[in-house]
């Protein structure tokens, strides 16, 4: 059996993200055509980083992956890449070194936050770096911090369930109801902020999932289209 070429390897990572966000097949029509491939690759990269930070019962494999990613992103800033996602992203003029420097802060967010404010605060260093990258990739300004933070909190809830809920939610709701309670709290306190077009779309889709009661369940196509249209309008 021959090894897949690098384009096939890239597609495998993009498909991983599409599998969690099938709505994107509808929502992407609101992203300028020349930005769609970049948006998809950037979303896949964030998924790789956050899965490493929060996935699994044992933190050590994820910590090793994050250490590898920190080196990889440092390499991107010097024109060197190893990961297939670099095919789509590495040559773009983005502050990859800034993102690399923020990776250790993402590792620290594995601990359960105390409450909603703490959940947002824990993610601030990484979200700021991600926001700078997004501003560079999509010709925006790095002022969408709160939406990046909210999107990351949604991603954690969708991927890890109740372990994402803060201690305050555990105390209030008890085990078995934390995921729904935390999703409801996130939805009710969702930030209203300016951001790049792709970020507004991702945020709108995430919030609508929360409103429907399950962070991990994709929206029906009609709902995804309506939600994305509103997100695109800003």
Looking at residues 116-144, what average pLDDT do you find? Answer: 92
Alpha-carbon torsion angle 229, 155, 94, 121, nearest 10: 110
Going by pLDDT thresholds of 50, 70 and 90, the confidence category of residue 1 is very low
Angstrom distance (rounded) from CA 169 to CA 88: 39
**Using alpha carbons only, what angle is made at residue 193 by residues 192 and 196, rounded to the nearest 5 degrees?**
135
Looking at residues 162-173, what average pLDDT do you find? Answer: 94
Q: What is the pLDDT of residue 142?
A: 67
Q: Is the pLDDT of residue 140 over 90?
A: no
Quote the pTM value.
0.95
34-73 burial code (b ≥16 CB/10 A, e <16): ebeebbbbbbbbbbbbbbbbbbeeebeebeebbeebbebb
């Amino acid at each position: 059996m021959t090894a897949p070429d690098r384009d096939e390897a890239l597609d495998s990572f993009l498909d991983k993200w599409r599998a969690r966000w099938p709505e994107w097949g509808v929502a992407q029509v609101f992203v300028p055509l020349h930005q769609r491939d970049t948006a998809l690759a950037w979303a896949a990269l964030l998924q790789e980083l956050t899965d490493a930070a929060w996935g699994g019962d044992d933190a050590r494999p994820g910590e090793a992956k994050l250490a590898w990613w920190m080196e990889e992103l440092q390499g991107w800033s010097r024109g060197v890449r190893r990961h297939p996602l670099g095919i789509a992203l590495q040559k773009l003029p983005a502050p990859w070194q800034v993102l690399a420097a923020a990776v250790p802060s993402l590792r620290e967010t594995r601990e359960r936050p105390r409450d909603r404010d703490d959940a947002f605060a824990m993610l601030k260093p990484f979200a700021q770096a991600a926001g700078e990258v997004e501003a560079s990739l999509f010709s925006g300004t790095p002022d969408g911090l709160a939406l990046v933070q909210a999107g990351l909190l949604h991603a954690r809830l969708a991927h890890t369930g109740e372990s994402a809920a803060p201690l305050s939610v555990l105390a209030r709701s008890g085990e078995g109801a934390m995921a729904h309670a935390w999703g409801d709290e996130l939805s009710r306190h969702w930030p209203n902020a300016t951001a790049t077009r792709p970020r507004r779309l991702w945020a709108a889709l995430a919030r609508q999932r929360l409103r429907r009661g399950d962070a991990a369940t994709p929206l029906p196509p009609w709902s995804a289209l309506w939600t994305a249209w509103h997100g695109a309008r800003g």
